[in-house]
Amino acid sequence: MKEKTVLILHRKSANEPYVKEAVKAVKKAGIKLRVLVPFNKAEKPRVVSEALERGATRIIAGGGDGTINAVANALIGKGTEKPEATLGVFPLGTANDFARGLGLPTNDLSGCLRMACTCEGRYIDVGVMNKRFFINVASLGFGAEITASTPIELKKKFGGGAYTLMGMVKAMNLTPYTGRLLIPGHDPVAGNILFGAVGNNHFAGGGFDIAPQARLDDGLLDLTAIMHGTGFSLPKLARELETPTNPDNQFVYYRQLPEFTIEADQPLHCNLDGEPVSKQRLEFNTLPGHLLVAF
C-alpha cells in the first residue's frame, strides 16, 4: 500500500497532546497521513528511505531545526540528484527558525501541518559546508560554542542580541578566533571573529534576523561576521547591527556569496542547523534550487 504523505515525528514530541490534536485535525479534514516515530536520530535516514521506497512523495519533518535538518539530509542523500519528494515542515522545536523564515504560522500547529500536507512545493537552495548539507543557517564562533557548552543557568543571566553574546564572551573570558576569509578571485580577508553566521534563510538563535537580505532561491549564502579590532566597543557594535549590510561598517561584515572558505587558526565551532561541528577549515557553497519544500 502506497503512503503518499508521511510525517516523521521527533520521539519526544510524539506523545504531546498538542501534537496529537494537530494530527487529528488534519486527518479529520480528509488528509491521508501516515505517522512514523524513529527511535533515535540515527534511525531517521532509514525511516525516510523506507517511506520513499513505499511510494511516499511528501516527507514531513515534525520537530525542531535539528530534526528538519536530519530529514532534509536524508532526502538530499549525496546531493548528486534533486530529490523527487517534497519536504514539509511541522515545527515543534523551541526556536523554529527555519519555519519562521518560511513564513509558517508557528503558533498554529494544525495550520502548519495542513500546509505541510497540501502546499505545492517550491524549490529552494541547499547550503553545503564541508560536504554536509544545511537549509537554514550555520552559526560560527562563540555563538555556536556557547550554545554547545554553556549551562542554561548562565545563559539566563544575560540580556538579548549583541549584549548576550558579549556578556558571554566576558563571563567566559573568551578570546576571538583568528583566521581568514577566502573568496575565489579575491585577496584573503584576515581578521578576528567573535561570531559568524552563514544564512541560506533569515533567522537563527530563536528569531534573530542574522541574514536580512537572504533569499532561499538566489543561489547565494549570506555571510554575517562580528569582528573584533581596534576601537571595538559594545555601543559601536550595537549601532552597526542596526544596519548590518552597510559596507562601511567596521565590526559587522556582511556579504552575499555563492562560495567561500573560512580558515581558522584553531578549530572553529559551528552549529549546522542545530548540529554541532568543530573544524579549522570550513568550505561553503550551494546546490541551487535543489530541494522542494512546501510553504
For position 252, which CATH number holds? 2.60.200.40
Q: What is the pLDDT of residues 52-108, one digit of tens each?
A: 999 999 999 999 988 999 999 999 999 999 999 999 999 999 889 999 999 999 999
Q: Which domain holds residue 63?
A: 5-119
Per the structure, the count of domains in the chain is 2
Q: Do 74 and 143 have their domain in common? A: no
- 275 as an active site residue: the answer is yes
Q: Do 13 and 158 have their domain in common? A: no
Q: Do 170 and 70 have their domain in common? A: no
- Strand ranges in the chain using DSSP code E only, listed in sequence order: 5-9, 34-36, 58-63, 86-91, 121-129, 132-134, 137-141, 177-182, 189-199, 203-204, 208-209, 221-228, 252-257, 260-272, 275-294
Q: Do 87 and 162 have their domain in common? A: no
Q: Do 148 and 114 have their domain in common? A: no
**Active-site hit among 3, 43, 263, 275:** 275
Q: Do 149 and 214 have their domain in common? A: yes
Give the ranges where 206-294 is alpha helix by DSSP (H): 234-241
Query: Rg (Cα) of the chain, in Å, rounded?
Result: 20
Domain end position, chosen among 119, 147, 168: 119
Q: Do 149 and 270 have their domain in common? A: yes
For position 72, which CATH number holds? 3.40.50.10330
Please say whether the beta carbons of 31 and 5 come within 8 A: yes
Q: Is the pTM of this model over 0.75?
A: yes
Q: What is the mean pLDDT of the chain?
A: 88
Q: Do 106 and 142 have their domain in common? A: no
Mean pLDDT along residues 42-55: 94
Q: Do 78 and 217 have their domain in common? A: no
